[in-house]
C-alpha cells in the first residue's frame, strides 16, 4: 500500500472511530447510571481503546519519520503530554480490573423449583427500618406489608411490599408471629440480614402526591388498630399533610408540612378515619360543641372528633359589626335578647380537606378578610382601625336590617334598610353569610354586600362568628380567616385598663376580672373547634402592634402563596 492509500485508510479509520465516540457518548448520557459506572463504561469503551491504539501507533511512527510537518510535530507533542499519558495509564488499569461483586459459585445440585432469593443487608442506625410486615393467615408466611417512603428500607431500594421474608439474621422466620420477627430485629445490632423471595410482579409506582389539611386530630400511639404505632404519624386539626402514598386503601403514608423528616408516617385513609370517627361518635353521648377527648380505654379508637354541629338555627351571639353585641350569654334576660344564626359546618364528612397552593393574581379580585375571635377581644376595634388607616383600600360590608332607619341614617350607608318579608326571602335564598335577630329585628351580612366591595377593587374586611366560617370559605370569596386571640389575663388587665366592654346593646362598662376569664375560656373553645380553618393567628396585645400584625397578615393573604381548598381552584371530587 502506497503512502497516499495508507493516509486515506488512516483518515477513514479515524473518522469511523470518532463517529463511534460521538455515538457512545450520546448513549452514555441517555443511560441512567451513576458517575462511577459512567467512567467505568467510558474507559472500557471500544472507541477509546481504538483511539489509544491509534495514538500509540502515531507515536511509534513519528519517532521514525524525518522532516515531519509542523502539524505532525504538534500532534506528537500533544500525544506525549502528561494528561494523555495519565489517561492511557488509567484506562489500562481500569480495563484490566474486574469490578463486579464476587459471588459464590452456583451449586450444581439446585432443584428445578428453587425460588430466586435475595439477600438484603441493611446497616441499622438510629432510624427505624421503615417497613411493616404481615403474616399470611393460611400459610403462616411472613411478608413485607409496606415500605415506608424515605425510610431505611425504601432508600436501600432492596425491600418491597410483597417480598416474602424467609430468614432474619440467619434464623428462619418459619412459624413465627410478626411480633416475634420484630422482636428479633429490635434485638439485633449493626447489620440486619434478610433472606427474601422477591415479589414477582411489583406494582408500578404511579402515586401522585396529594396535599391535605387535617380536619381532625389523630394519635397513632392511642390507636390500637394501627399496624405499627411507631410507623404512625400523629397530626392535629389544621396540620398540612403531604400524602405520598395511597396505594393501601386503609393506611396512607404522609409527611407533615413543613417537612423536617425524609421519612413518611402512616395515617388512616379518608374512609378509615371517617369510619373511626363514626364508630367513636356513636359510642359517645351527644356533646355539642365539645371536643371528645382521647379515650383511656385501649379498645376504642382515640380520636379527637371535630365539633358535631347540626345545621339549622343556633342560639348564639352576634357581631358588633352589625352594631350588636355578641355577649348575650352574659345578659340577664337571654330569652329577650337571643340571637339566631345559621351554620352549615359538618367536618365529620371530610377528615381531610384537599388543598392546593394559590397565589392571587394582581389583576384578580382581592380575597375577603374575615376576623374571628372571642367576644370582647377586639375584632371590631381592629377592623375599624384597619379601615380608618386606609379607607381607599379597606372597606366593611354594609349589613341589612329590618329595623326602621333613624333620622340621621341613610339606606346603603350604615345599613340596607329592608322589610321583614324581603329579609326572610333573602334568608330563604341563602343570600346571607350570617344573620340574627335582636329585639324583633333582623340583622345580616349578605354575600352581595361583600361582593360589592370586592368588585370595587377594595379589600373587604368583616368580622364573623366562627360558625359562619364555612359560608365565607367559597370559591368566589376565597376568605382568609384571621383568628384574633386574647393575650394572657395579666396583659389583658394592663392593656384594657381604660377600655370599655359592650355587655348589652350599646351598654358599655369597664372590663372586669371575670370578662378576661370568660374570654380565655371562649378562646380555648373556639381554637379547639375551629383552628383548622384559621389561616393566620394574631394576639391582640398592644393595639398598635396588633394593627401592624393585622396589616401584615392581610398583605400575606393578598400577595403571597397560600394553601387553599382545592375546590376553590378546580372542581374536585371527593377522594
Ligand X SMILES: Nc1ncnc2c1ncn2[C@@H]1O[C@H](COP(=O)(O)OP(=O)(O)OP(=O)(O)O)[C@@H](O)[C@H]1O
The residues binding ligand X (CB under 6 A) are 319-320, 325-327, 373, 375-381, 495-496, 499-502, 540, 543, 546
Contact 242, 254 (CB under 8 A): yes
Q: In angstroms, give the least distance from the CB of 378 to ligand X.
A: 3
Q: Least CB distance from residue 324 to ligand X, whole Å? A: 8
At 176, list the grid cell. 413465627
Cβ proximity to ligand X: between 220 and 374 the closer is: 374
Nearest 5°: the CA angle 333, 334, 337 is 95
Report how far residue 118's alpha carbon sits from residue 193's, in angstroms, rounded to the nearest whole number. 10
For ligand X, the closer CB: 124 or 491: 491
Complex with ligand X: residue 267 or 379, whichever CB lies closer: 379
Min dist. Cβ of residue 503 to ligand X (A)? 9
Nearer residue to ligand X within complex by CB, 474 or 502:
502
Nearest distance, CB of residue 261 and ligand X, angstroms: 39
Are 479 and 461 within 8 A, CB to CB?
no
Nearer of residues 266 and 397 to ligand X, judged by Cβ: 397
Cis peptide leading into residue 388 (ω within 30°): no
CA angle 56, 57, 61 (to 5 degrees): 120
**Cβ–Cβ under 8 Å, residues 446 and 431:** yes
How big is the chain, counted in residues? 575
Indicate the residue among 313 and 548 with the shorter CB distance to ligand X. Answer: 548
Least distance CB 346 / ligand X (angstroms)? 26
Pick 277 or 445: Cβ nearer ligand X: 445
CA dihedral of 462, 467, 471, 472, whole degrees rounded to 10: 30
180, three cell numbers: 416475634
Q: Where are the alpha helices (DSSP H) in 465-542?
A: 469-472, 489-495, 513-530
Nearest approach, Cβ of residue 440 and ligand X (Å): 21
Parallel, antiparallel, or unpaired for β 459-463 and 394-395?
parallel
Q: How far is the CB of 296 from ligand X (least distance, A)?
A: 37
Cβ distance 463 to 557 under 8 Å?
no
Q: How far is the CB of 320 from ligand X (least distance, A)?
A: 3
Find how far residue 562's CA is from the centre of its chain: 12
- Pick 223 or 465: Cβ nearer ligand X: 465
Question: Parallel, antiparallel, or unpaired for β 441-446 and 416-417?
Answer: unpaired
Nearer to ligand X, 270 or 495 (CB): 495
CB contact set of 39 (below 8 Å; sequence gap of 6+): 94
Report whether 441 contacts 402 (CB < 8 A). yes
Least CB distance from residue 530 to ligand X, whole Å? 15
Distance of closest approach, residue 395 Cβ to ligand X, in angstroms:
18
Measured from the CB atom, the residue of 287 and 500 that comes closer to ligand X is 500
**Which sign, positive or negative, has the C-alpha torsion 557, 558, 563, 565?**
positive
**CA nearest 330: which of 527, 515, 526, 500?**
515
Q: Are strands 441-446 and 400-401 parallel, antiparallel or unpaired?
A: antiparallel
Q: Which residues sit opposite 253 in a β-bridge? A: 245, 266
Task: Give the DSSP H or E segment for 454.
Answer: helix 447-455
What's the CA gap between 175 and 136, in Å, rounded? 11
Measured at CB, which residue is nearest to ligand X? 378
Q: How far is the CB of 541 from ligand X (least distance, A)?
A: 6
**Closest CB to ligand X among 43 and 543?**
543
Amino acid at each position: 500500500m502506497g503512502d497516499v492509500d495508507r493516509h486515506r485508510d488512516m483518515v477513514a479509520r479515524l473518522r469511523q472511530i470518532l463517529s463511534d465516540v460521538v455515538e457512545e457518548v450520546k448513549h452514555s448520557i441517555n443511560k441512567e447510571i451513576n458517575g462511577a459506572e459512567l467512567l467505568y463504561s467510558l474507559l472500557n469503551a471500544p472507541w477509546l481503546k481504538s483511539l489509544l491504539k491509534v495514538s500509540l501507533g502515531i507515536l511509534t511512527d513519528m519517532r521514525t519519520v524525518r522532516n515531519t510537518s509542523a502539524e505532525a510535530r504538534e500532534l506528537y507533542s500533544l500525544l506525549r503530554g502528561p494528561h494523555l499519558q495519565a489517561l492511557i495509564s488509567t484506562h489500562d488499569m481500569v480495563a484490566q480490573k474486574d469490578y463486579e461483586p464476587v459471588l459464590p459459585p452456583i451449586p450444581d445440585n439446585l432443584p428445578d423449583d428453587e425460588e430466586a432469593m435475595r439477600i438484603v443487608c441493611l446497616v441499622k442506625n438510629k432510624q427505624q427500618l421503615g417497613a411493616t410486615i404481615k403474616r399470611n393467615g393460611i400459610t403462616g408466611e411472613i411478608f413485607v406489608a409496606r415500605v415506608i417512603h424515605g425510610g431505611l428500607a425504601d432508600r436501600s431500594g432492596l425491600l418491597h411490599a410483597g417480598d416474602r421474608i424467609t430468614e432474619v439474621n440467619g434464623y428462619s422466620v418459619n412459624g413465627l408471629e410478626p411480633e416475634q420477627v420484630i422482636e428479633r430485629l429490635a434485638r439485633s445490632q449493626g447489620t440486619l440480614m434478610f433472606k427474601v423471595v422477591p415479589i414477582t410482579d411489583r406494582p408500578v409506582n404511579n402515586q401522585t402526591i396529594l396535599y391535605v389539611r387535617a380536619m381532625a386530630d389523630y394519635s397513632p400511639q392511642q390507636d390500637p388498630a394501627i399496624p405499627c404505632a411507631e410507623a404512625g404519624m400523629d397530626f392535629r386539626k389544621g396540620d398540612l399533610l403531604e400524602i405520598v402514598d395511597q396505594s393501601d386503601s386503609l393506611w396512607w403514608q404522609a409527611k407533615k408540612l413543613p417537612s423536617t423528616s425524609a421519612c413518611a408516617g402512616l395515617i388512616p385513609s379518608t374512609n378509615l378515619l371517617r369510619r373511626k370517627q363514626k364508630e367513636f361518635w356513636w359510642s359517645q353521648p351527644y356533646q355539642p360543641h365539645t371536643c371528645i377527648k382521647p379515650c383511656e380505654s385501649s379498645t376504642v379508637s382515640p380520636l379527637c372528633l371535630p365539633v358535631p354541629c347540626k345545621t339549622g338555627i343556633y342560639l348564639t351571639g352576634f357581631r358588633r359589626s352589625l352594631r350588636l353585641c355578641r355577649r348575650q350569654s352574659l345578659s340577664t334576660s337571654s330569652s329577650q335578647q337571643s340571637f339566631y344564626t345559621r351554620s352549615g359546618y359538618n367536618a365529620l364528612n371530610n377528615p381531610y380537606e384537599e388543598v392546593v397552593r394559590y397565589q392571587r393574581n394582581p389583576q384578580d379580585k382581592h380575597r375577603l378578610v374575615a376576623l374571628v375571635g372571642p367576644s370582647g377581644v377586639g375584632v371590631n376595634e381592629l377592623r375599624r382601625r384597619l379601615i380608618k388607616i386606609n379607607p381607599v383600600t379597606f372597606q366593611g360590608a354594609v349589613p341589612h336590617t329590618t329595623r326602621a332607619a333613624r333620622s340621621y341614617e341613610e339606606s346603603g350607608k350604615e345599613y340596607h334598610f329592608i322589610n321583614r318579608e324581603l329579609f326572610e326571602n333573602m334568608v330563604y335564598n341563602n343570600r346571607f353569610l350570617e344573620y340574627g335577630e335582636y329585639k324583633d329585628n333582623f340583622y345580616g351580612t349578605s354575600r352581595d354586600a361583600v361582593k360589592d366591595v370586592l368588585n370595587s377593587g377594595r379589600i373587604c374586611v368583616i368580622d364573623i362568628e366562627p360558625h359562619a366560617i364555612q359560608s365565607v370559605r367559597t370559591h368566589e370569596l376565597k376568605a382568609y380567616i384571621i383568628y384574633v386571640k386574647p393575650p394572657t389575663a395579666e396583659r389583658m388587665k394592663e392593656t384594657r385598663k381604660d377600655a370599655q366592654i359592650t355587655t348589652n346593646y350599646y351598654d358599655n362598662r369597664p372590663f372586669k376580672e371575670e370578662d378576661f376569664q370568660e374570654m380565655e375560656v371562649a378562646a380555648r373553645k373556639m381554637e379547639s373547634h375551629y383552628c383548622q380553618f384559621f389561616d393566620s393567628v394574631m394576639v391582640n396585645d398592644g393595639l398598635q402592634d396588633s394593627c401592624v400584625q393585622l396589616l401584615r397578615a392581610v398583605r400575606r393573604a393578598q400577595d403571597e402563596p397560600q394553601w387553599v381548598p382545592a375546590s376553590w381552584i378546580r372542581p374536585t371530587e371527593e377522594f
